[in-house]
């Protein structure tokens, strides 16, 4: 049963934590007025001749958000451990959100596109810290509500983008004078989210496992799990997870030396590559532009993005229920498959554009493919890796594993977004088709390797990863059964091990 305080906590993070997604999507949602703003700024400050390099400057500017993502991923691991989950995920993230929105607005006031690019970079840092928010929520929720809580964060962010999309219509704020409405809305959310951090306690896992503060951990457990909970039983689970650790902070080198941690890192890395290998990053910067190339005008492209969001809106509310009812594995595999199909659909649509065929078939197929990608995003594309990380990685390894598994794929995303305009003009539909093959290969790997992690405590999941690693090498089918890891599929020996594990912990208390 979800308590009132836990529900308030998760809904607050979902409703107010989406400002990063609004900031990150500003360049795409306000594409026509921002392109005009960039062009005017370039001509005014660098001369008419500089406008000949407009496409290159614009592509590099779009890539700055992914540079921000790379920067955020590079140092957020240390922030998790040394600054704290709540302080990083809520307070520091909100501050960067304010800096991002302010930079964009200052760019408009001064007529300097460079300030917008700086805000776009800060937006990338904010988006990177969304992983911290997911981990923070996962550590505060009871095991049986982890999936629902973390998926609500994703749903809230997608819903925020959906709600601001109508503002981008040319008849409202989608003009040269009105595009700053998006960063202003995001700044308001960031302020409210920052204030919410004063009310909610720190992650109880961090308080107990990392700080050793049993009294504060008990209070946090009671706050998040409810007044009827027995905090001693919950802390026993934390203690079982703590005993997986050798010391407080594990470096990446130590993760690679440990077979169990190394296998956990590999599984998280697989899911971390899904978003950059999908069309998500391309669409976040160029979807409006692609829809224009398919034959729509600015109003039609904006209206199409709005209708896609509204049509697939129910998935935002269903995904938190789906992940707990049917498990992580089937949902994550479905998300990967949708990403692969989106690439193929975009390739077909671009084929019509390349061969100057009537725009109607290409537009319909392109919009349909984009709907598949939007469905994947609403079902949890961006939170799959953080969810798995919070469930199969011991507390003290999460910083190092998070940093590595997010930074490496982000290099691919930066290259992808920067070279997209050039490669699209050079390769045409084959660009989309090539990434479709790459995405399909990744989907196959996820299907072969991914375990089920629903409802089990982290220490038991780590134990299963350790036991199943060698079994996977000889016979993957047992470990990778769709129901593997579910409570109903636990073996009798596992259950007895768990009982013995908890009984032994009684000596500690």
Could you read off the pLDDT of 329-339 as tens digits, one per residue?
999 999 999 99
Least confident of 55-59, 388-392, 503-507: 503-507
pLDDT of 90 > 60? The answer is: yes
Say what the pLDDT of residue 455 is. 62
Could you read off the pLDDT of 382-417 as tens digits, one per residue?
888 888 888 888 777 887 888 888 888 888 888 887
Q: Could you give the CA distance from residue 83 to residue 293 in angstroms, rounded to a whole number?
A: 46
On whether the CB atoms of residues 242 and 208 are closer than 8 A, the answer is yes
Say what the pLDDT of residue 497 is. 42
Confidence of residue 294 (pLDDT cuts 50, 70, 90): confident
Mean pLDDT of 305-333: 86
pLDDT of 15 > 80? The answer is: yes
Report the SS3 class of residue 173.
coil
Could you read off the pLDDT of 427-443 as tens digits, one per residue?
989 999 999 999 999 99
Say what the pLDDT of residue 337 is. 96
Could you read off the pLDDT of 331-379 as tens digits, one per residue?
999 999 999 999 999 999 899 888 876 667 778 888 999 999 999 988 9
pLDDT of 75 > 90? The answer is: no
pLDDT of 326 > 70? The answer is: yes
- Cα dist from 149 to 140, 154, 287, 398, whole Å: 9, 9, 29, 19
Mean pLDDT of the chain: 83
Q: Could you give the CA distance from residue 107 to residue 101 in angstroms, rounded to a whole number?
A: 10
Least confident of 192-196, 227-231, 292-296, 492-496: 492-496
C-alpha count within 13 angstroms, C-beta hemisphere, residue 450 = 31
Q: Could you give the CA distance from residue 180 to residue 183 in angstroms, rounded to a whole number?
A: 6
Pair of tokens at residue 66: 């992914």
Delineate the domains of the chain, giving CATH numbers in brackets: 10-200+247-505 (1.20.1250.20)
Which candidate, 469, 456, 466, places its Cα nearest to that of 498? Answer: 456
Mean pLDDT of 260-268: 87
On whether the CB atoms of residues 26 and 182 are closer than 8 A, the answer is yes
Confidence of residue 270 (pLDDT cuts 50, 70, 90): very high
Predicted TM-score (pTM) of the model is 0.75
**How many Cβ atoms from other residues are within 10 Å of residue 95's Cβ?**
14
**How many Cβ atoms from other residues are within 10 Å of residue 110's Cβ?**
11
Write the CB contacts of 230 (distance below 8 Å, at least 6 apart in sequence): none
Mean pLDDT of 96-123: 95
477 versus 163: the higher-pLDDT residue is 163
Confidence of residue 16 (pLDDT cuts 50, 70, 90): very high
Confidence of residue 226 (pLDDT cuts 50, 70, 90): confident
On whether the CB atoms of residues 105 and 180 are closer than 8 A, the answer is yes
Which candidate, 61, 209, 54, places its Cα nearest to that of 124? Answer: 61
How large a percentage of the chain has pLDDT more than 90? 32
On whether the CB atoms of residues 186 and 23 are closer than 8 A, the answer is yes
Q: Could you give the CA distance from residue 91 to residue 71 in angstroms, rounded to a whole number?
A: 18
Could you read off the pLDDT of 164-219 as tens digits, one per residue?
988 988 888 988 888 999 999 999 999 999 999 888 999 998 888 888 889 999 99
Q: Could you give the CA distance from residue 378 to residue 342 in angstroms, rounded to a whole number?
A: 14
Confidence of residue 476 (pLDDT cuts 50, 70, 90): very low
Say what the pLDDT of residue 503 is. 39
Pair of tokens at residue 432: 């989309």
pLDDT of 234 > 90? The answer is: no
pLDDT of 504 > 70? The answer is: no
Confidence of residue 60 (pLDDT cuts 50, 70, 90): confident
Say what the pLDDT of residue 246 is. 52
What backbone torsions phi and psi does residue 33 show, to the nearest 5 degrees? Answer: -65, -30
pLDDT of 506 > 60? The answer is: no
Least confident of 56-60, 172-176, 409-413, 476-480: 476-480
272 versus 298: the higher-pLDDT residue is 272
The one-character DSSP state at 169 is S
How large a percentage of the chain has pLDDT more than 70? 87
Say what the pLDDT of residue 460 is. 63
Say what the pLDDT of residue 376 is. 93
Q: Could you give the CA distance from residue 418 to residue 61 in angstroms, rounded to a whole number?
A: 9
Say what the pLDDT of residue 153 is. 87
């Amino acid at each position: 049963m979800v308590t009132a305080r836990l529900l308030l906590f998760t809904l607050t993070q979902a409703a107010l934590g989406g400002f990063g997604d609004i900031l990150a999507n500003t360049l795409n949602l306000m594409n026509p007025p921002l392109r005009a703003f960039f062009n005017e700024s370039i001509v005014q400050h660098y001369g008419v001749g500089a406008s000949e390099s407009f496409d290159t400057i614009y592509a590099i500017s779009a890539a700055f958000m992914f540079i921000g993502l790379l920067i955020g991923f590079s140092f957020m691991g240390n922030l998790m451990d040394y600054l704290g989950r709540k302080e990083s995920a809520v307070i520091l993230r909100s501050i960067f959100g304010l800096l991002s929105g302010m930079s964009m607005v200052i760019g408009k006031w001064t007529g300097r596109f460079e300030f917008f690019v700086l805000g776009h970079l800060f937006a990338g840092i904010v988006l990177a810290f969304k992983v911290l928010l997911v981990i923070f929520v996962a550590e505060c929720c009871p095991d049986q509500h982890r999936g629902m809580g973390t998926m609500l964060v994703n749903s809230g962010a997608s819903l925020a983008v959906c709600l601001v999309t109508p503002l981008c219509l040319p008849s409202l704020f989608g003009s040269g004078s009105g595009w700053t409405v998006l960063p202003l809305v995001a700044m308001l959310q960031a302020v409210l989210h920052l204030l919410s951090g004063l009310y909610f306690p720190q992650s109880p896992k961090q308080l107990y496992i990392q700080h050793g503060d049993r009294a504060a951990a008990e209070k946090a457990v009671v706050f998040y799990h409810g007044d009827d909970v027995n905090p001693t039983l919950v802390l026993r689970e934390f203690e079982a997870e703590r005993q997986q650790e050798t010391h407080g902070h594990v470096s990446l080198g130590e993760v690679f030396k440990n077979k169990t941690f190394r296998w956990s890192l590999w599984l998280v890395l697989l899911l971390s590559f899904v978003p950059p290998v999908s069309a998500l990053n391309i669409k976040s910067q160029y979807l409006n532009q692609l829809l224009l190339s398919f034959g729509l005008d600015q109003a039609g492209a904006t209206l199409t993005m709005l209708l896609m969001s509204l049509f697939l809106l129910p998935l935002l509310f269903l995904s938190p229920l789906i992940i707990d009812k049917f498990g992580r594995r089937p949902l994550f595999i479905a998300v990967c498959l949708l990403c692969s199909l989106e690439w193929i659909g975009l390739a077909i649509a671009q084929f019509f554009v390349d061969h100057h065929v009537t725009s109607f078939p290409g537009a319909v197929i392109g919009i349909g493919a984009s709907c598949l990608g939007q469905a994947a995003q609403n079902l949890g594309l961006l939170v799959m890796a953080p969810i798995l990380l919070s469930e199969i990685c011991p507390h003290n390894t999460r910083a190092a594993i998070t940093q590595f598994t997010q930074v490496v794929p982000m290099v691919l995303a930066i290259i992808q977004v920067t070279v997209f305009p050039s490669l699209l003009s050079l390769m045409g539909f084959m660009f989309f088709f090539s990434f479709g093959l790459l995405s399909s290969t990744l989907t196959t790997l996820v299907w072969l390797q991914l375990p089920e992690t629903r409802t089990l405590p982290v220490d038991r999941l780590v134990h299963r990863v350790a036991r199943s690693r060698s079994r996977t090498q000889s016979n993957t089918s047992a470990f990778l059964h769709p129901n593997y890891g579910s409570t109903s599929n636990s073996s009798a020996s596992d259950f007895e091990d768990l009982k013995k594990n908890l009984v032994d912990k009684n000596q500690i208390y």
